[in-house]
Structure 1
């Protein structure tokens, strides 16, 4: 997806982004945050109008760090720190060699890239920045002549729809958007009261992890580490609630008594020190280490930074976010072992109400959730993550899904989700029986997070992954990602059962058809177009007399075989074929007897209906002609058989009332 923006020209021929204009529509979404009071006071200026010799980065990289302005986006600025530490990540987000001020090729715009649902998305902005009294009012660099932070913030604001939508967020989300990697959330504080009040717990034992810094030691110099407060800690009375800071360094220091103390250097995005602990400049803690060591460590502290020890860190902050290191080749390094996870796969999916949104394991519909095969070829360390789409975004170019009605405003952007894994020993297995057993591994509780992560060391074999929302019927798109130190493969499980739940009365017979819409041949589009009848047709018959068949007797599902980000709107019609005639003789203005429309941007669309005996044909289509894609059509028809008495004596039921899935190797 490209975000090039519609261009306009200023008085000097410089680019003006008409998709993200220099007015209040780019600043505010609903004027619900404190920056709403700035309306009418903001002017937009280009960097050369703010200082004499603007640059993207200063010569002293320490002065290139972000300094927070009037916008509450400390979470985003903390994530930006990882870019200054990793040139290859910075070059991905801000492609190098772009014309700057003073360059003859400069045209007043910059291009950035953010990772979104499995792909890098390009965002182009002009360089007009919001100011008050000729000074930047939002984030900036410590150097007043450097503008990479202010421009990146503007591009991220366009990516979200407005500056106001950057007010408050999760460091983990920004880290993933800026790196395409993974980030995990770890708790520091007392979890007892929170555990007791979590409504989204499912039947699994709830186990939330607490941070052990020793666990991160193999990657302490490479991982991105951020800490945050939910309320004012004792040593940081100025910080207030919900503020994020960056851990820039941590090390073990010898004390004069022969022991060790672990010290962490923290950077506050506000650009000033707000700490009163034992390790401030004149704090009592420094007397416990050698004077030379104390002088060296204190000399490392830049503006807005301070030291504290591990005990202070664990007691004064509420949680931390750990971003996985990423090699120059784009591979993750495990924060648990330091191992390089060279093998990775990803697949998109969707929970659809009435079809694949089965809810948690408390729900009888759990087995209808989407399912994925993870094949592990050799023993190795494996990470599997479940990342869901946010419910609101810019309504046009960056639209993902609309904001849905949700009475729970605290969690209005995400569903509570979890990921469960079962090891499958045989190539043929009983799904219902397996799901009644405890999972091999899981994220243990449904969490209102954009991404949840499952980690383990897996033996070779097949593993079934089931992502779920806590509430049945909750709809959302998601992305499953797997990273491993050994060879793996990830694939979606295509269930051979009809997509919609079947009633227990009678038996069902299911047929499967594969087809293609081919541009210029069989991609005829919807009934709005004369070419509609060029679409593939799939004839079938209903045989049971109407007196025997009551209620739904036909269930049809159309599934397109395309990535979730490249879906066509699809649907289908069912036409009656006159007795003794063929499909070709159906009048072209004939109305269908049943339809699955309007056409929807979905992987699967389904219809359950009751049809009298006769001959019919199914005509699947995309909304517009010449949209090429492969598809699968499943047709389930209810049939009635006379009961047969069985002489089976081997202790094995002839027919189990359950869902049987066959593993695809």
Structure 2
């Protein structure tokens, strides 16, 4: 799905109609679908203190949607464990086409002091939800304690776009509390419609294998050039370790946005250069808290920066203050961070000069004993839905994402443990497989209790392939979305068994 696809109305709410109705009534808009009350905050009354819902004009003299544009250091995390969402917002600000998609018509939504009668306290935001863009409407009543915002807020006190966007996202899931704890990839997907992948740096042996580090660094540089959004984290081993600050200033169980991957030139060269290297591989990260930074080499004010040329310092916009953003060598990054999340913005435009992918997309469901067969450990595995696609050239590549349509609430996500197998089949196959052993398993994606799974397969043979998505256990019911991306037209189809006959349906 592209950036400019048709937008659906969340719960049927039409922004223009609601704004006109509020104007005709002479009253500011109040959203009946997400009212300013305790239920919109949490299932636990008083969890966030003595909350008062206030409009921006009650919090400052000159409220603005934006102040001096938008940047990655605008957003500050509040009294909610949604660092994953805040880190994703920071990433979003650097990819302007998608930021303008999430925050549509920013100029028309801005406060205009010369036309105060046009302001009705209503805003709209767009999120990608399972294959299509959805418009979410909110009022501007924001939760405060002692006259201050308690959740996301801008570094600039009179700017409110981030607080309003957070409210729209909370509305989708029923409350602010539902955003407490989550995965960076979820928000990145909902901001872009991209496909996300998570890399376990420990499993990949990045810390101790220089060749693997070289390959990963090269990949991240390429991904940055393609506007791929990235985040990194150090998983906590227990609840006691959550948000524990390590001796080097990094926080466990916390999501950081990756904002740059750069080669940095040093003063001098050869044996007289720092670490005997003329160029350092560096990575820049941002803590959503707006403080608590890395304190090792190349931290703010560290002497290592004296070895970097002034021109490079200027190019990277080096700021030596406790603003949450910091640089570290890629080697140090690989030695401390354990997880890397990437959200690839898939280009499907035939008019683009960049790499263009052909998309196959289908909505499906695991339902009942005949369509929820569980993993291949069970004899009912091939009862699951099956999808076929073609690869037209040898040594080609494809990407697959499986996303379950789970929900969030105050108890957390309702994710099932999911996975999928990809098998190469006969080129003329148009019906469902009935025996896995008769086909080559090209890719088996490990099962995981996560909203989405991603696989990027390279150097594959041309031919027809079948995807079998499944839950780990049989008879677990859930809706899902499967997406396939190939270099050429892929003849993507759902193959179905109905009344004893086999049919294939092209999308």
Report how far residue 452 of structure 1 moved.
0.8
1:61 and 2:75 are equivalent in the alignment: no
| 2:9 matched residue in structure 1 | 2
**Once structures 1 and 2 are overlaid, which stretch shifts more, 151-160 or 245-254?**
245-254
Q: Aligned to 1:279, which of 280, 290, 298? A: 298
Indicate yes or no: 2:422 matched with 1:417. Answer: no
Report the alpha carbon displacement of residue 298 of structure 1 after superposing the two structures with TM.
6.8
1:421 positional shift? 1.2
Q: CA deviation at 1:160?
A: 0.9
> Is the partner of 2:496 in helix, strand or coil?
coil
Residues 298 and 413 from structure 1, CA distance in 2 versus in 1: closer, same or farther, beyond 3 angstroms?
same
1:499-514 equivalence runs, <5 A: 510=500
Q: Residue 331 of structure 1: CA displacement?
A: 8.5
Q: Retained in 1: the 8 A contact 2:495–2:503?
A: no
1:369 aligns with 2:384: yes
- What is the Cα-based RMSD across aligned positions, in Å? 3.2
Q: In 2, distance between residues paired with 1:63 and 1:184?
A: 22
Q: For each residue in 1:190-211, what CA deviation from the matched residue of structure 2 results, as whole angstroms up to 9, or x when unmatched?
A: 589xxxxxxxxxxxxxxxx998
Answer yes or no: is 1:245 the counterpart of 2:274: no
Partner of 2:222: 218
Contact 1:369 1:468 in 2 (8 A): yes
State the Cα deviation string for residues 233-278 of structure 1 (Å, max 9, x = none).
7454462x31111111121123444313211121111111432111
1:187 matches 2:193? no
Distance 2:159 2:87 in 1: 18
Task: Confirm or deny: 8 A CA contact 2:234 2:339 kept in the other structure.
Answer: yes
Q: Distance in 2 between matches of 1:254 and 1:113?
A: 41
The 1:664–1:159 alpha-carbon spacing in structure 2 relative to 1, beyond 3 Å, is: closer
Q: Distance in 1 between the 2:379 and 2:428 partners? A: 25
1:139 matched to which residue of 2?
152
Preserved contact between residue 29 and residue 165 of structure 1 (Cα < 8 Å) = no
SS at match of 1:446: strand
1:72 Cα deviation from its structure 2 partner? 1.1
- Structure 1 stretch displaced more, 80-89 or 341-350: 80-89
Q: Is 1:37 the equivalent of 2:47?
A: yes
Higher Cα Rg, which structure: 1
Query: How much has 1:485 moved relative to structure 2?
Result: 2.2
> How many residue pairs are counted as aligned between the two chains?
461
Query: Using the alignment, how far apart are the partners of 1:148 and 1:211 within structure 2?
Result: 38
Q: Take 1:210 and 1:479, find their aligned partners in 2: how far apart are those partners?
A: 34
| Gaps in structure 2 of 5+ consecutive residues | 1-7, 206-212, 237-243, 271-276
State the secondary structure of the residue aligned to 2:290: coil
Q: Which digits, 9 at most, give the CA deviation of each residue in 1:527-548, with x for residues without a partner?
A: xxxxxxxxxxxxxxxxxxxxxx
**Cα drift, residue 109 of structure 1:** 0.2
Q: 1:284 to 1:332 in 2, by over 3 A?
A: farther
Provide the secondary structure at the position in 1 that maps to 2:66. Answer: coil
CA distance in 2 between partners of 1:45 and 1:210 (Å): 51
Q: Deviations over 1:627-657 (max 9, x none)?
A: xxxxxxxxxxxxxxxxxxxxxxxxxxxxxxx
Q: Which residue of 1 aligns with 2:187?
A: 174
Residue 115 of structure 1 deviates from its aligned partner by 1.1
Residue 126 to residue 423, structure 1, CA distance change in 2 (3 Å):
same
Distance 1:309 1:257 in 2: 17
Distance in 2 separating the partners of 1:262 and 1:332: 34
Offset of residue 187 of structure 1: 1.3
Which range moved further: 1-10 or 450-459? 1-10
Normalised by the size of structure 1, how large is the TM-score?
0.63
Of stretches 88-97 and 279-288 in structure 1, the one that deviates more from structure 2 is: 279-288
- Of the three residues 404, 412, 416, the one matched with 1:388 is 404
Do 1:75 and 1:170's aligned partners in 2 also have CA atoms closer than 8 Å?
Answer: yes
For structure 1, which runs of at least 5 residues remain unmatched after alignment?
193-208, 395-408, 499-509, 513-660
Offset of 1:131 from its aligned partner? 1.0
Separation in 2, partners of 1:75, 1:131: 22
